[in-house]
Structure 1
Amino acid sequence: MSSRPARATLATIAEAAGVSIATVSKVVNGRDDVSPGTRAMVEELLRQHYYTGRGGSRQTTIEVVFAGPLAAYSNEVMEGVLQAAAEPGVSVMLSKGRGASTATAWALAVAKAGRCAVISVSNEMTPEESTALARANVPLVVVDPLTPAGADVTSVGSTNYAGGTTAAEHLLSLGHTRLAYLGGDAEAGCNQARWQGFRATLEAAGYPVAPKLAQHLTFRYAAGLNGGGALLDSPNPPTAVFAGSDEIAVGLIEACRRRGLRVPEDVSVIGFDDTQLAEFCSPPLTVVRQPLREMGRVAVRTALQLAAGASVDSHHVELSTSLVVRASTAPPRR
């Protein structure tokens, strides 16, 4: 990985504007003894060079950006972030991203606020935002990127493809041959990896998923309730369903309950994540566990490493998934 770009200084702006450092300082500090034309020129150069000031507190605060409402998944990641940040005494600021601001304005605001880095959790960080943060000299680490991150963006995820394979192997070992997939957003990279691992394993075993038994909706509870209901109401419903998240799985279990179906006696359900929902739901949920807290911890450690000007060994880190068997899966009824 390349080192971070040098931060613009008053001297940098003064040289580009052809004025003195004192004049640039006056503009930065809001002094009124600068002509309107010179002020406008200097302000534009400040934006172009992503000038953020001295940034004396830049090593103390990480901004964590979430997309959508906080849920069981994001709470687990946040626990890991807070644990890792507490060790070196780093503060954590939560936000919903740039909102209506332009990418440049948001990145400059983040830098001027003294953030040493940004961690984006399951958020669609646009190329414009990534570039703006880089120009503002603010490192970015993406957790579970919705789309594959480029080589210039550092990211942390889990072995989603292997997780899909694990789910398929577990259900096949129980004797299920008519299986369904109820996943999250179709364009999400993690969803596609889980689905591809699941599908490939079943096809290799000679039990491909019927087209009508594969749905890609959202990672939320409503997808399990409504999409799961559609699967259960199909003419030849599945005996087992792999849900792309714990929230989907819990919604699916409720859809079964409303139809008088029992889990796992009538339908086996396996989730993905291993949040607290997996233990709290009834029956307790069999899951492919991804180490969400560790993903948060790795993201913080990586962000601090980049903030210190160090390079990282890989721009993308994948942590291993594993199977946790509870009470929501069983052999199909004969």
Structure 2
Amino acid sequence: MYEVLVLISSAGSQRAEQLWRLQRSLVLTDPPCYHTPSKHRALHRIKHLFIRGYEAGYRVSRAVAKGLESIPPKLPLDTWILKMGENILQDLPANILSSVLKIESVNLERNSIKSIHPQAFAGAQRLMLLNLQGNRMSKLPVKGFKDLLNLRFLMLGQNQIASLKPNMFIGMRNLSELDMPLNALTALPPNTFKPLIALKVLDLSLNRIQSISPKAFVGLDELLFLNLDNNKLKNIQDGTFGSLIGLEMLVLDNNLLSTLTADTLQGLSNLQELYVRKNEIESLPADVFRHTPKLTHVGLSGNRLHAVDGNMLANMQGLKEVFLHDNPWKCDCSINSLVHYIAQTRANHSPLQRLRCTSPEEFRDRPIHQLKSDELPCRA
């Protein structure tokens, strides 16, 4: 089915402008959330607020059909929003929007789209939102989005996209959010996202990424949120995040990382939240957070840590939450400083009942916050 929305009032346009201003200033008021990074959720809320607010003040004229194989050739000239989700479109030919120059939102989710002509979106310079998630695309056309000068949101999740090329996103100088979860990416080559100079949110979760070029994120000076959750990363080259000078949240959960060093985090001077849960990290150097002085939330649960320097955590004056549970803690004198830190800190290191000793045998399953430093053995 599809819906065509035609503007009959300026109220929707004014509301949209207010929401764009909100989105660009990133006024995020969500409380921290352990399971879902709060700012990412807030950004998506702003996007959905935009969609709902954008449609306020519009009269909806619907032409309902099922099983559409192509976009109707004679859309009303004043069409601003096009909804054709859950049909059976397989290809997007050239100039599909050339007759509706005022179009600003297109939803083609959950079709069967396999290919996009490089000129499919030619002339759609007012388009702000393009939703292509849940299709069957294995590749994107080079320079296929070059006319989308005002696009803010591009949703490409739940496809089969296997590779990215540097010219793929050329022309998209106003894109604010790029969603590409649940694809088949295995690598991020150099300069992949360089044209996206206004990008705030990049979601690459649930792919198969094994390698990232140290220059993959060049140009993303404005990026605030990067999600690499659920990939296949075993290591990240030093300086890979160096160009992300504005990044505030980095999610590396559910990968295969065995190490995390200060050089890995080099350049992230504005980072506030770092999540590296459920990896294979066995130890952390004492200076690991040397380049991230603004950290407030750190997630390290579900790794292979035996000990952590509590003094390192104590020196992070802005730290509000640190998650250390579900690690195989070795409760000997090597964690003296950690025991002292947990006893003294005001930071939330929940859930304390899951922060337990694994060894030695006499301390197995003891909650660490109940230990005292003078009872911990020192053994060769």
TM-score (norm 2): 0.23
Ranked by relative contact order (alpha carbons within 8 Å, sequence separation 6 or more), the top structure is 1
